[in-house]
Amino acid sequence: MKEKGRMHYAWWIVVSGFFLNLAGIGIIMNCMGVFYKPVIESLGFTRGSFALYFSIAALSMMVVAPVMGKVLERRNIRVVMGICTVLMSASFALFSQCTTLAQFYALSVFLGIGSAGTHIIPVSMMVTNWFEEKRGLAMGIVFSATGIGGFIFNPFSNWLIENHGWETAYLVLGIIVGACTVPVAVFLVRARPQEKGLSAYGARALPEGSDAQAVPGLTGREALRTASFWFLAVMILFIAVANMGVLHHIVPYLTDTGMDPATAANLMSLHMAVLVVGKLVMGDLSDRMGLMRSLVLCILGLTVSIGLLFGATAFWIAVLFNVLFGFAISVRTVLPPLMAAACLGPRHFGVIYGFLNVFTTLGSAIGVPLSGYIHDVTRNYHAAFALYIALGVLAAIFGILALRGARFARA
């Protein structure tokens, strides 16, 4: 971990990515479920129509993602991320002033644009560029922050809502998001080790005069012509639909079964705590036992955990679900960037993962309102949960097909 007697700067990139994910995903994405019922009951929205604001944010992120990957590679990453973190945190805080669906929808556009340049794409790109060895562990650490954010801020958000109202909760969380991301983006992040005169962690220094062409990997255009890219894209899409379709409806579902909101929020925090451990473990396991076995293990946990929701009226089953789901959900964040680097190479990772992130955000945009609309029609979530189990199995098949064509790392 050290370079010339000091800690290698790659680990400062991990610290940066940790705080960016803590706020951008751990707070903004993983705490949205706590707001559903309070906002709906206050303003008279339906679950499906209100959940659509998250879809609009995800679709905005999807549209911007391919361009953002290219911009992050070619422009000063601190300037780009500084603008994006301000936009993201300000948009979330301004939800506190919304009284109509149109206002939520409009702000969601800016939230999505800011998010595209704040967490998943730039963090995955930086970790891939900065680590040759321990890449899985580093990816696990930065994405474990999403669980820590949810663990801390789900009960905190619920407390704010119950004692001060959902408007105050949005405002306070928006300020916290800005405090966690803007300074990091402006002062700490670096796109590549060459910007600090270093080599990637665990890599040999490139010969003098060599350039990015020496880094193995496909260009964005070449990647789009491979079967592995499209297998990965479908896998990512199905996992995102299943994950977000469940995640954002855990609290509403548990309260539908008769559980009080505080207990449901605490169980959500348990899920987030396990998620932290799961991402760390899975990141390390991917280095040790390979991506193929790690993928199968995660998908197995995902499908079994969703199946447990059918019996979640029993408290102990609800607990078991949150534990298993929290461990398995690393399949959405930790494994895809590692699989992309293995299948397509790190040379133009920012551009390639920008394209792949389109399918992450598209799946998120579909999953969250889909569960809400299925509930509105059927008066329960059972059909949604059955669909997500099927998508999990299909995701495993496509992921295995992608890894069989891996060119640049052991799968």
Per the rule left: phi > 0, alpha: psi between -120 and 50, beta: everything else, 89 is: alpha
pLDDT, residue 205, reads 55
Overall CATH class of domain 2-197+217-404? mainly alpha
Given a contact cutoff of 8 angstroms between Cβ atoms, the answer to whether 47 and 252 are in contact is: yes
Instruction: Compute the distance between CA of residue 361 and CA of residue 113 in angstroms, rounded to an integer.
Output: 12
pLDDT, residue 189, reads 86
Instruction: Compute the distance between CA of residue 369 and CA of residue 2 in angstroms, rounded to an integer.
Output: 46
Instruction: Compute the distance between CA of residue 198 and CA of residue 186 in angstroms, rounded to an integer.
Output: 20
Given a contact cutoff of 8 angstroms between Cβ atoms, the answer to whether 339 and 295 are in contact is: yes
Predicted TM-score (pTM) of the model is 0.74
For the chain, domain boundaries:
2-197+217-404
Instruction: Compute the distance between CA of residue 233 and CA of residue 361 in angstroms, rounded to an integer.
Output: 11
- Residue type present at position 54: F
Run of H or E residues at 3: strand 2-3
List C-alpha distances in Å: 214 to 206, 207, 225. 8, 9, 21
Please choose, from the candidates 104, 106, 110, the residue with its C-alpha nearest in 3D space to the C-alpha of residue 43.
104
> One digit per residue, pLDDT tens: the chain, 411 residues?
444 557 788 888 899 999 999 988 888 877 777 887 888 888 888 877 887 887 788 788 878 887 887 788 778 888 999 999 999 999 999 999 998 999 999 999 999 999 988 888 888 888 888 887 787 888 888 888 887 887 788 888 888 998 999 899 999 999 999 999 999 898 888 888 888 777 777 776 554 444 445 567 777 788 888 999 999 999 999 999 998 888 778 778 888 877 877 788 777 777 777 877 888 888 888 878 888 888 998 899 999 989 888 876 778 888 888 888 888 887 887 888 888 888 888 777 777 887 887 888 788 778 877 888 888 888 888 899 999 999 999 999 999 999 887 766 555
CA quadruple 139, 395, 250, 61: dihedral sign: positive
Tell me how many degrees the CA angle 208-210-213 measures, rounded to the nearest 5.
Answer: 165
Given a contact cutoff of 8 angstroms between Cβ atoms, the answer to whether 263 and 318 are in contact is: no
Write the pLDDT tens digit of every residue in 173-192.
999 999 999 998 988 888 88
Write the pLDDT tens digit of every residue in 147-171.
788 778 888 888 899 899 989 999 9
List C-alpha distances in Å: 360 to 11, 96, 121, 185, 353. 26, 27, 11, 23, 10
pLDDT, residue 323, reads 86
Helix boundaries (H) for 75-165:
77-94, 101-116, 120-130, 135-164
pLDDT, residue 83, reads 92
